[in-house]
Structure 1
Amino acid sequence: MANSPYSTNVPLDFRAPPPSPVAAGRRSSVANDEILTEFLHRSLRVPDLVLPDRVFPRQNSKIQNLPKLDFKALNNSSSGFDQVIDVIAQTGCFELVNHGISGQLLSSVVDSGAGVFRLSQEKKSIVSRSAERLYGFVEFHGDEKELNEEFVWCRDDSLKLVMEKVWADQYSNFSEKMEALMCKIENISEVLVQLFLARFSLKPRFDDDDDGVKKKEIAGSLCYLYKHCSDSEIISNDDQYMDSLRYDVIRMLIRGSEHSHTLCFHVCDGSSEFHVYSKKGWVSFSPDTNALIITIGDQLQTWSEGKYKHVIGRPIFKGDLEDYISMAFLYSPPPPIPKIQKDNTISFGHQVLFVLILTFLYNLYSFIFT
C-alpha cells in the first residue's frame, strides 16, 4: 500500500465546520422561553465560596475572665455553686482551683513527658498514629511549619510494649507518673460530672452513634502531650504565626470529635494566653498560675441536650522561649456493666459458699464409701 495514490505522510484533517451564525432577531422555538432562560441563568451562576479565612473562627473577645470553681470548697458543701455552674454551662470552660493535685506531681509529669519528644525521628515513626493505632506520635504532612508536636498516651498494653522497646530506659517511669496523675484527674472528674448532671437532673447515656455503629476509639481516658515549638522565626513573624495558628486550629477543630469525652483537663503552666474555640467563635484569656483549665466535652453536651456547650481549648505560648510542654487529659467515664452481664456474674460470697458446699459433699461422699 506504500505506492497507493491514497497513502500520504500528511495526516488527514477532519475538523468540523464552524457553527452557523444565528440571526439576532430570531425567536426561540421553545414554548416556555422565559422558564428556560431563568433555569440557564441559575445554572451558570457562580456559587458563593467559603474561603479559608472565613473558616477560621472569629474572635469574639480579646480577654475574658472565666468562672472559677473551688474544688476544696466543693467537697465541703455543694450549695451556692448553681450560679457558677450555669455560667460554666454557657462558656463551656472554667478554671479549677484548690484541686488538690500537687504542683510537684504536675511538674514531674511535664518534665518526664518532654523526654518523649527527644526520641529520634526513626523511633517516632515506629510509634506513629494510624487508622488502626490511635495512640503514639501524630505525623504532619505538608510544607507548613508546625508550632507543636503531639503524642497520645493511653493505658493500652500495645503502646506499653512498643514504647518499652524504643524508650526502654525511661518509659516505665514516665508511664507510672502519668498513671498517678490520670487517677487523680479521674477522681476529680467523677465528682464534677455528678455535680453538673445533678444541676439539671440529668443522667449519663451510653448510646451508639446515629447509624448504630460504634466509633473505633481508645477505651477509657487518654492524654495528649504537646511540645510547643520555640522557633523565633515563626514567633517573631506575625503573618507566619497566624498562618500556622490557623492551620493548627482548623486541624484541631476537624479532629475535635476524634475521641469522645466528658471533660478535658489542660495542664499548661507558663502559657501567655488560653484560647477557647466553639462554632460561634473564640475567646482568649490569661490563665491563673497553678489552676487547671477544664473544657466541656461532647459527651456532656449530648447528655444535657445542649445545656452544656462543647468547646475546644488550646494554650498559647508567645515570646522567645524554650520548648514548652502542655497536656490535655480527656476523661471518659466507663460505661455501666450491662444487666445481662451483671446477672451472669457470681459474687465472691456466692463463690465461697459454692466451695464450702463442694467440700462438704466431697467429705460426705468419702465418709459413706469408706
Structure 2
Amino acid sequence: MAVSPESGRERPVDFRAPPPSPVASGRRSCVTNDDVLTEFLESSLRVPDLVLPDKIFPKQKFIENPSSVHFDSLGAPGSDSASRMLDSIARVGCFQLVNHGIGCEFSNSAMAAAAGIFLVPPEKRAAAMRSPEKPYGFEEVHGGEEDESSELAEEFMWCREKGLESAMKRIWPLGYSHFSDKMAELQSHVEKIAERVMTVLREKCLDESASGNNGLKGEGCAGASIGTVCCILKHSKNVLDDDQWASSLRYDVIRMLIRGADYSHALCLHMCDGASEFHVYSKKGWVSFCPDKHSLIITVGDQFQALSAGRYKHVVGRPIVKSETEDRISMAFLYSPPAHAPASNDVECGGGRNTFSVGQQVMVAIALSLAYHLFVYILNKF
C-alpha cells in the first residue's frame, strides 16, 4: 500500500493494464519463405470446380403402346389376360382396357357436366378448396397467365362426401346436383370394372405366390377412408410456345410426383379419350405413349404395390391434351377395393371373432335347465 504525503493515509496501488502494443501498418509476414506459404494457402483454400450434369430432369422416353386387354376376356377360361396385364404393369406400370362397356355418349355427357365446375368464379372457390383436413374440392392454381410455369390444367377432386356436397351446393346451387348424379352413375360403372380387374389380378398374384415364383402375398388391400375419388382435369387450350410448354410440363411432372401419394389406392382408371399422349411417372423414369381410342388406361397404386410385396411398383399417370380450339376434360378414378365381408359363421367384431365367455355359457345352461324343469312340471300338472 502507498502512503499519501498530504493526508498520511494509505491508497491502493494502481494496477491498470499497460496500453496495447502498436499495430504494424505493414501486411508482410515474418516467415522467411513467405512466397511458398502464400502459394500453399492459395492452392489449399481454392474451391474445386464442380462438374454438374447438364440436365438433372428425367428425360421423356417414348415407348410402344402397353398391352390392350378386352374386358370380356377377364377371367375367361384359357385367357391370358391376367398374365398380359401383369407383364405390362411390370414394364410400364399400366395397361389399356378396351370394350369396357362405358359408352362414348354417356362418358361425354358426364364430362360435359363436369366442365361446369370450372365455371365457378375463383372468388367463390375458397369455400370448396382442398386442404389437409378436406382432401377434396378445387386445387389451388399457382402462376398466372404470364408465368411460364403456370399449370397446364385446372383440377377438382370429387367424391361422395357430405362436406363437399354441402359446400358445392352453396357456391354452385343450380348445377351441382345434376353433375353429382352423373358422376355417381359413372362411378358405379367404373367401380364394377375395377372390381373385376382387381379380382383377376389378385387371383393371378395368389397363383404366382403358390407356385413359388416370387414373394407375392395375398393379403387384401385396405379401402380408402372416403371411398373412390375422382380427379377431374380441365386441360386448357394450347396457347404456349414450345419453350413455355416444356417449362409448364416440367412443373406439372414435379407436382404430380410430389402429389402422387396423396390418395392411397389400388388402381387408377383414366378416362382420357382425345389425349395426344399419356405420361407415366415412376422412380424408374418418365415414359409416354399415344393411347388407343376409347380405352381405359389403368395404372397401379400403392395398395397394389403392397399386395405384390413390392414387385409391381406404384406409378403416377397423367394424360396430355393438346387442343388449339377448346378446353378438354379428362377423369381419373382412384379405386380401393372394399374390405372383405366376413363369412356368416365367422362374424368379427373389433378385429376378433365373437365368442361366449365361461360365465355366459353357465348362465345359458342354468336358463335352459330351469326352462326344462318348468316344462316338465307344466306337462305333469296338466
Q: TM-score, normalization: structure 2?
A: 0.72
1:204 maps onto 2:219 in alignment: yes
1:212 alignment counterpart: none
CA deviations 1:90-117 (Å, max 9, x no partner) are 1211110111122222111100000000
User: Hey, what's the Cα distance between the residues in 1 that align with 2:81 and 2:341?
Assistant: 31
Query: Do 2:74 and 2:196's aligned partners in 1 also have CA atoms closer than 8 Å?
Result: no
Change (3 A) 1:184 1:319: closer
Change (3 A) 1:218 1:325: farther
User: Hey, what's the Cα distance between the residues in 1 that align with 2:157 and 2:278?
Assistant: 21
Which of 170, 180, 183 pairs up with 2:175? 170
Task: Give the CA RMSD over aligned residues.
Answer: 3.5
Bigger Rg, structure 1 or 2: 2
1:88 offset after TM fit, Å? 2.1
Query: Do 1:64 and 1:283's aligned partners in 2 also have CA atoms closer than 8 Å?
Result: no
1:290 maps onto 2:294 in alignment: yes
Change (3 A) 1:207 1:185: closer
Structure 1, unaligned runs of 5 or more: 1-14, 27-39, 209-216, 346-360, 362-370
Q: TM-score, normalization: structure 1?
A: 0.74
1:183 alignment counterpart: 188
Structure 2, unaligned runs of 5 or more: 1-22, 35-43, 207-216, 343-347, 355-370, 372-382
Higher RCO (C-alpha 8 Å, min separation 6): 1
User: Hey, what's the Cα distance between the residues in 2 that align with 1:23 and 1:137?
Assistant: 71
User: Hey, what's the Cα distance between the residues in 1 that align with 2:335 and 2:189?
Assistant: 11
Aligned positions, number: 313
Q: Matches of residues 341-352 of structure 1 in structure 2 within 5 Å?
A: 341=350
1:23 maps onto 2:27 in alignment: no
Which of 217, 227, 231 pairs up with 1:224? 231
SS in 1 for 2:151: coil
Q: Matches of residues 174-323 of structure 1 in structure 2 within 5 Å?
A: 174-201=179-206, 202-205=217-220, 219-232=226-239, 234=240, 237-323=241-327
User: Hey, what's the Cα distance between the residues in 2 that align with 1:16 and 1:254?
Assistant: 60
SS in 1 for 2:124: helix
CA deviations 1:61-105 (Å, max 9, x no partner) are 3x4221011111225436323441342231211110111122222
1:283 offset after TM fit, Å? 2.0
1:340 maps onto 2:314 in alignment: no
User: Hey, what's the Cα distance between the residues in 2 that align with 1:240 and 1:269?
Assistant: 25
User: Hey, what's the Cα distance between the residues in 2 that align with 1:226 and 1:19?
Assistant: 68
Moved more, 108-117 or 294-303: 294-303
Which letter maps to 2:233?
Y
Query: Do 1:58 and 1:280's aligned partners in 2 also have CA atoms closer than 8 Å?
Result: no
1:335 offset after TM fit, Å? 3.3
User: Hey, what's the Cα distance between the residues in 2 that align with 1:87 and 1:16?
Assistant: 80
Change (3 A) 1:89 1:269: closer
User: Hey, what's the Cα distance between the residues in 1 that align with 2:68 and 2:293?
Assistant: 13
Q: Matches of residues 99-138 of structure 1 in structure 2 within 5 Å?
A: 99-138=100-139
SS in 1 for 2:349: helix
Change (3 A) 1:17 1:89: farther
Identity of aligned residues (%): 43
